[in-house]
Structure 1
Amino acid sequence: MEKRLIDVALLACLIPLVITCGSKQEESIASPIDKDKIKKEIQAKENKFAELYNTGQLKSIGYYAEDAISFSQNKAPLVGKPAIIEYLRAGIDSSSRGNKIAFTTNEVFISNDGNQVVEIGYYNLADSTNVSINTGHYMVLFEKRNGNYVVLRDMSACDMPLQ
């Protein structure tokens, strides 16, 4: 009887230990973040943004979250997707037609769960003869919502000399 009591007590101590070890092992098996895949996904978003901007189809830009904030030089932050789109629209006038913007994703920094990405990149605005008229760098904070990355915050800085 005493041996059976010891066996039951030993078993009662081992069960939680086995369960605890098993759950820790499952945590360490979490799928790794594929940085190259996410970088390509972010670059594809930049390419689509540039395509829509260059063709003036700003209504179709799904790039920004509704609660996005955009920071630029020499102006107050633009709060909300409608304000950002309106600012972009105002920047397209008859004198800028034919200009093309392009973005290059240089680096991405990805949260451990893959739900947030900070992108650091380079932009080039060229005229219709492909001469650069504005270049610079930018940072963007993306968040995954409903399975897609959208911009929560962005900021840019021109690297051309002041005139």
Structure 2
Amino acid sequence: MKNLFSKGLVVSSVLLVLISCKKEESAASAIDTNKIKEEIQAKENEFADTYNSGVMKQIGYFADDAVTFPQNHEPVSGKSAIIEYLKAHIDTVARGRKIAFTTNEVFVSKDGEQVVELGSYTISDSTKNLINSGNYMTLFVKKDGKYYSLRDISTSDLPTE
């Protein structure tokens, strides 16, 4: 009788472990990386369209506690400070120039609450001649069902002068 009880306990334990593993697999497989990549690209497009308009305004891109690490500048902390920084430097890109961002890769956390984006950017003049290009990395966090940039940094492909 003890032997039968022990075998039943072992079989039940194994089944419980298998069921638990199956639940983890289905939660992980529920994350659609391609859909998230499209969502992040849409955020980058919205950011570029706003910046290219020459009128920097509050957009749903940065988290309230975001930090950006601009090229050749100290880090800028907080959404409001980042928007002010962008307004002050908008002439470096806008005025007949267009910036475009391309989401190359996304690395999504198992729960889908964080995304690391690796992307590239180009800046072209009104005749579509390339003025600058580079790469960036952004950490997005999900709040209220939407992704927001929490940290970002970029580098130029141009050599320093």
- The alignment's TM-score, normalised by the length of structure 2, stands at 0.84
Q: Which has the larger radius of gyration?
A: 1
Query: After the TM superposition, which residues 93-112 of structure 1 pair with which residues of structure 2 at under 5 Å, given as runs?
Result: 93=91, 96-112=94-110
The one-letter amino acid of 1:151's match is: S
Q: Would the aligned equivalents of 2:54 and 2:95 in 1 still touch at CA under 8 Å?
A: no
Q: Which amino acid aligns with 2:26?
A: I
Code of the residue aligned with 1:97 in structure 2: it is R
Residue in structure 2 matched with residue 134 of structure 1 by the alignment: 132
2:49 alignment partner, one of 30, 48, 51: 51
Match for 2:148: what amino acid?
A: V
Q: Does 132-141 or 17-26 show the bigger shift?
A: 17-26
Shift of 1:125: 1.0
1:160 maps to a residue whose letter is L
For residues 24-63 of structure 1, what are the structure 2 equivalents within 5 Å?
24-32=21-29, 33-63=31-61
Gaps of 5+ in 2: none
Distance 2:22 2:137 in 1: 36
Pair 1:156-2:154 in alignment: yes
Give, as a single letter, the amino acid of the residue that structure 2 aligns with 1:43.
Q
Q: 1:108 to 1:53 in 2, by over 3 A?
A: same
SS of equivalent to 1:40: helix
State whether structure 2 residue 143 is matched by structure 1 residue 120: no
- TM-score (structure 1 length as normaliser): 0.83
> SS of 2:96's equivalent?
coil
Decide which of 57, 81, 85 is 1:87's aligned counterpart: 85
- How many residue pairs end up in the alignment? 159
The one-letter code of the counterpart of 2:27 is A
Report the aligned-residue RMSD. Answer: 2.6
**Where do 4+ consecutive residues of structure 1 move more than 6 Å?**
none
Matched, 1:72 2:65: no
Aligned counterparts of 1:70 and 1:118: Cα–Cα separation in 2: 14
Contact map agreement 1:52 1:60 (CA 8 A) in 2: no
- Secondary structure of the 2:35 match is helix
Aligned partners of 2:123 and 2:133 also within 8 Å: yes
- Taking structure 1 as reference, are residues 20 and 87 closer, same or farther at Cα in structure 2, changes over 3 Å only? same
| Higher mean C-alpha displacement, 42-51 vs 17-26 | 17-26
Aligned sequence identity (%): 53
